[in-house]
A and B are shown apart, each in its own frame.
Chain A
Amino acid sequence: MTRRVVITGVGAVTPLGVGAPILYERWEAGCSGIDERFGRCSDYEPADHLTTKEIRRADRYTQLAVVAAREAVGDAGWDGGSPYDPERVGSIIGTGIGGLSSIADQRTLIRDRGSESVSPLAVPNMMANAAAGVIAMDHVLKGECYAVLSACASGAHAIGAAKRSIEYGSLDACVTGGSEAAIHPYGVTILGQMGATSTTGLSCPFDARREGFVIGEGAGILVLEEEEAARARGADILGRLAGYGATGDAYHVTVPEPTGSGAAAAITLALAEAEIAPADVDYVNAHGTSTPLNDRSETAAIKLALGDHAMAVPTSSLKSAIGHLVGAAGAVEAVATLLALREGMAPPTINYEEPEEGLDLDYVPNVSKPLRSEANGGGRIGVTNSFGFGGHNAVLCLRAAAANGGERA
């Protein structure tokens, strides 16, 4: 009997605010969280959520993850602690670069004041597995625990890895997602020097004027549970994580494969695992970075994977509203996709004005639009794409619980 995986809780801290519902509501309304060329989590005030000790002992990327995880765990109804044997609950969190600010600041410190001046907390603050470890501690999760890194696909890969562990049977539930906080002068410099970031601060995915991504920060966390166990405990099931596909381009370290074949293969694998035909996809949440190369190769990939249906399915990019959250993007976008499917709306690709030849899908320009009606009592089906430097492709296929509450997810 195949073990299936359901989503019972979501949490997010993003440039659109603190909380998953506010992320969806503001995106759906066409708000932008980008200010002065960056997507900062300006509504996030550490002291509102964490003790002074917790703040001092965690890099910003870990803080964002901890706050999003608390929301997700609360949303899942785990307020009194996980309803499972702690040894059967995992913590798998993706990140692109972990505690970059801690690394850069501590490096400055030892340059200026000698190696003795380094903080005793430097190692736990900078390590890329800190968020996974701290969340495990916060909720006493004693199952599998690690970080996944695949650049901009990290969050999606982490969620996929959690799905695999539940299916395999080594976990009954997992707190999973991604987190990133790299808007530090050094992070901005290294990303800028590679020529991938926007010089204008305009995030306009699929638009002819696009010229790079806007750096964002944030975290997205999901609570995944094995379906039978979730039903047995009477959990409110938000949807199903129906499919996961991961491939490598093996093409170039920073350039996507232009035909989109690796990305398309990941979409196809995710749909096959979910046993869903391309024509049944109601919504595509694009990776849509607003870089010249990604948006072109991703459009090609969607056409390759979905065939004729590609022209019909609404495809939008959250990055138009919050920028690119790097290793958190895949997880925040999974959260946003699930909420969009539940509400039956495709939120918009904002800042879309000038079409480009060949980029001719329905990118849901500027104004959200309703998704087509639920088919046969099942919940709506969406695909969320994540592609990372290094040629990493990770695609998740989500199915929302049906609105009528009958045949759920």
Chain B
Amino acid sequence: MITGVGAVTPLGLGAEQMHRRWVDGVSGIEDGFGRCGEFEPADHLTLKAVRRTDRFTQLAIVAAREALTQAGWEDSSFASNRVGCVIGTGVGGLGTLEAQHDVMLDRGAERVSPLAVPMMMSNAAAGVVAMEHELRGPCWAVASACASGADAIGQALRMIRVGSADACVAGGSEAGVTPLFVAAFTKLGALSPSGIPRPFDARRDGYVMAEGAGIVVLEEEQAARERGAQVLGRVTGYGATADAHHLTAPDPTGGGAARAMGLAMRDAGIGPEDIDYVNAHGTGTPLNDRAETAAIKLALGDSAARVPISSLKSAIGHPLGASGAIEAIATLLALRDGIAPPTLNHDTAEDGLDLDYVPAVAKPLSRAGDDGRRPIGISNAFGFGGHNAVLCIEPA
């Protein structure tokens, strides 16, 4: 059961804000980057907390507070040792690593901050969020590049299913808009020279690097009902596979990604005919969007042509290790409102990219409300390294 969601994204503070602005077709991208421009650390954290945490941890803290507030947790809701915390990230505190490296080179090793390690480590967000809310269950970070956030939520789901925890705070966070990362992804040819993300469009030229965090509160169903929690929806399935193909290029047939979608649907006990919406990984790179289209066709068969598919990355860019978590939240809210938010900047079709990408304008999910059933969505996340993670989501 999902009982709380929180997000800090280039579309603003808060999950609802992100959802509304995306549905309205607003873009959070400026000067070729998706920065969380409305996030002012000092508005949320003490000076000491700001000084002691990397930006990726700060974003996670604020998103987690939103999610926990929405979940309405009180001190006695769960035994603290039965609540886990799993937060994905692609690169953790890279900004801190780079800044302290400059300190070492410019001013000497003895001037490097004693906080460099606890700030830069990729498990800092999970550790700090656990500390703030006294979560004493299983706690770690997941890294699978751009699939990290989705894998983290998938592991939280498993953790609750196998009984290692009654609840888990899970998601992803990233603040990788740093000189080294921008240079490295530019060199790799993955970043958009135009600075405009155009997922599934013929003119797409790469992704726009972004930052942000998305956190969900998952609870075991019975426990959530017993405490009278307001349930927002459910993560019903998780599928994870590896391409074992190439470190930075997706398998062009989409085979590994399609298998992950198939596994997630099977885990949820549903089939392609039950899917009402696909939240695409849709990075806007030439390779991903083609491989992902192939994967969706493989996994959904005849249903692929019918299902609205859109990419949040068209509006906020690609927040790497946070994207899978932010997009899971966006998927839940889209399903709740029975609407497919749009793929912005999409107007030129490419041969073979012929699915319904919901170009430019949001549209209602046509089957929502039929027979009183709730719409079902899947959210795709694929990462460098050949990692594929797919979540199946249903609103309450």
A binds B: yes
User: Nearest Cβ distance between residue B167 and chain A, in whole angstroms?
Assistant: 13
In the bound complex, do residue A247 and residue B81 qualify as a contact, i.e. CB atoms below 8 Å apart? Answer: yes
User: Nearest Cβ distance between residue B244 and chain A, in whole angstroms?
Assistant: 5
Q: A127-B90, A168-B161 are in contact. Are A389 and B242 (CB under 8 A)?
A: no
A129 to B381, CA, bound (A): 15
In the bound complex, do residue B130 and residue A391 qualify as a contact, i.e. CB atoms below 8 Å apart? Answer: yes
In the bound complex, do residue A127 and residue B130 qualify as a contact, i.e. CB atoms below 8 Å apart? Answer: no
A165 to B143, CA, bound (A): 17
A142 to B134, CA, bound (A): 36
Question: Does B385 count as interface, using CB distance less than 8 angstroms?
Answer: yes
Option from A120, A126, A129 in Cβ contact (under 8 Å) with B387: A129
Question: Does A87 count as interface, using CB distance less than 8 angstroms?
Answer: yes
User: Nearest Cβ distance between residue A156 and chain B, in whole angstroms?
Assistant: 10
User: Nearest Cβ distance between residue A264 and chain B, in whole angstroms?
Assistant: 11
In the bound complex, do residue B118 and residue A389 qualify as a contact, i.e. CB atoms below 8 Å apart? Answer: yes
Chain B residues within an 8 Å CB radius of A136: 242, 244, 385-386
Q: A390-B139, A391-B139 are in contact. Are A195 and B130 (CB under 8 A)?
A: no
Option from A129, A148, A168, A392 in Cβ contact (under 8 Å) with B383: A129
In the bound complex, do residue B161 and residue A189 qualify as a contact, i.e. CB atoms below 8 Å apart? Answer: no
Question: Does A199 count as interface, using CB distance less than 8 angstroms?
Answer: no
Question: Does B377 count as interface, using CB distance less than 8 angstroms?
Answer: no
Within 8 A of A (CB), among B343-382: none
In the bound complex, do residue A153 and residue B242 qualify as a contact, i.e. CB atoms below 8 Å apart? Answer: no
In the bound complex, do residue A132 and residue B123 qualify as a contact, i.e. CB atoms below 8 Å apart? Answer: no
Query: What's the A-B contact tally at a CB cutoff of 8 Å?
Result: 274
In the bound complex, do residue A123 and residue B384 qualify as a contact, i.e. CB atoms below 8 Å apart? Answer: yes
In the bound complex, do residue B151 and residue A248 qualify as a contact, i.e. CB atoms below 8 Å apart? Answer: no
Question: Does B45 count as interface, using CB distance less than 8 angstroms?
Answer: no
Question: Does A250 count as interface, using CB distance less than 8 angstroms?
Answer: yes
Option from B84, B98, B114, B162 in Cβ contact (under 8 Å) with A168: B162
How many of chain A's residues touch chain B, expressed as a range? 35 or more
Question: Does B223 count as interface, using CB distance less than 8 angstroms?
Answer: no
Option from B105, B135, B142, B188 in Cβ contact (under 8 Å) with A248: B135
Stretch at the interface among A91-99, A275-283, A310-318: A91-99
In the bound complex, do residue A142 and residue B243 qualify as a contact, i.e. CB atoms below 8 Å apart? Answer: yes
In the bound complex, do residue B109 and residue A164 qualify as a contact, i.e. CB atoms below 8 Å apart? Answer: no
In the bound complex, do residue A151 and residue B121 qualify as a contact, i.e. CB atoms below 8 Å apart? Answer: yes
Within 8 A of B (CB), among A125-161: 126-130, 132-134, 136-137, 139-151, 153-154, 157, 161
Question: Does A192 count as interface, using CB distance less than 8 angstroms?
Answer: yes
Question: Does B210 count as interface, using CB distance less than 8 angstroms?
Answer: no
User: Nearest Cβ distance between residue B374 and chain A, in whole angstroms?
Assistant: 26
Chain A residues within an 8 Å CB radius of B208: none
Within 8 A of B (CB), among A204-253: 246-253
Within 8 A of B (CB), among A52-67: 57
Closest chain B residue, CB of each to CB of A91: B242
A120 to B187, CA, bound (A): 5
Option from B109, B124, B133, B246 in Cβ contact (under 8 Å) with A253: B124
Within 8 A of B (CB), among A84-105: 86-87, 90-91, 96-98, 100, 103-104
A36 to B241, CA, bound (A): 43
In the bound complex, do residue A248 and residue B143 qualify as a contact, i.e. CB atoms below 8 Å apart? Answer: no
In the bound complex, do residue B116 and residue A390 qualify as a contact, i.e. CB atoms below 8 Å apart? Answer: no
User: Nearest Cβ distance between residue B231 and chain A, in whole angstroms?
Assistant: 24
Chain A residues within an 8 Å CB radius of B147: 146
In the bound complex, do residue B244 and residue A140 qualify as a contact, i.e. CB atoms below 8 Å apart? Answer: yes
Chain A residues within an 8 Å CB radius of B91: 126-128
User: Nearest Cβ distance between residue B283 and chain A, in whole angstroms?
Assistant: 14
In the bound complex, do residue A194 and residue B118 qualify as a contact, i.e. CB atoms below 8 Å apart? Answer: yes
Question: Does A200 count as interface, using CB distance less than 8 angstroms?
Answer: no
Chain B interface main SS type = mixed
Chain B residues within an 8 Å CB radius of A309: none
Question: Does B256 count as interface, using CB distance less than 8 angstroms?
Answer: yes
Option from A116, A146, A167, A195 in Cβ contact (under 8 Å) with B143: A146
Chain A residues within an 8 Å CB radius of B305: none
A262 to B85, CA, bound (A): 15
Closest chain B residue, CB of each to CB of A191: B117
Stretch at the interface among B2-10, B177-185, B268-276, B327-335: B177-185
In the bound complex, do residue A250 and residue B131 qualify as a contact, i.e. CB atoms below 8 Å apart? Answer: yes
Q: A115-B182, A145-B242, A389-B117 are in contact. Are A150 and B385 (CB under 8 A)?
A: no
User: Nearest Cβ distance between residue B136 and chain A, in whole angstroms?
Assistant: 5
- Contact bitstring B38-74, A, C-beta under 8 A = 1, else 0: 0000000000000010000000000000000000000
Question: Does B300 count as interface, using CB distance less than 8 angstroms?
Answer: no
Chain B residues within an 8 Å CB radius of A132: 144, 385, 387
In the bound complex, do residue A164 and residue B139 qualify as a contact, i.e. CB atoms below 8 Å apart? Answer: no
User: Nearest Cβ distance between residue A155 and chain B, in whole angstroms?
Assistant: 11
In the bound complex, do residue B97 and residue A253 qualify as a contact, i.e. CB atoms below 8 Å apart? Answer: no
Option from B126, B182, B245, B247 in Cβ contact (under 8 Å) with A124: B247
Option from A127, A149, A249 in Cβ contact (under 8 Å) with B140: A149
Question: Does B230 count as interface, using CB distance less than 8 angstroms?
Answer: no
Q: Which among B123, B148, B248 has the greatest number of chain A C-beta atoms within 10 A? A: B123
Question: Does A119 count as interface, using CB distance less than 8 angstroms?
Answer: yes
Option from B97, B164, B248 in Cβ contact (under 8 Å) with A246: B164
A123 to B124, CA, bound (A): 21
Question: Does A369 count as interface, using CB distance less than 8 angstroms?
Answer: no
User: Nearest Cβ distance between residue B391 and chain A, in whole angstroms?
Assistant: 14
A171 to B92, CA, bound (A): 28
Option from B112, B131, B138, B155 in Cβ contact (under 8 Å) with A193: B112
In the bound complex, do residue A250 and residue B80 qualify as a contact, i.e. CB atoms below 8 Å apart? Answer: yes
Chain A residues within an 8 Å CB radius of B184: 106, 118-119, 122-123, 126
User: Nearest Cβ distance between residue B18 and chain A, in whole angstroms?
Assistant: 25
Option from B90, B118, B155, B162 in Cβ contact (under 8 Å) with A390: B118
Closest 3 CB pairs of A and B: A390-B127, A133-B385, A248-B139
12 extra interchain contacts, Cβ-Cβ under 8 A, other than A86-B244, A110-B180, A251-B131? A97-B120, A118-B183, A123-B248, A127-B145, A170-B240, A185-B109, A193-B113, A195-B114, A250-B136, A265-B81, A389-B117, A391-B127
Sample of 13 A–B contacts (CB below 8 Å) = A107-B102, A111-B105, A123-B384, A127-B385, A128-B122, A132-B385, A149-B123, A149-B140, A150-B139, A168-B162, A192-B109, A253-B52, A390-B139
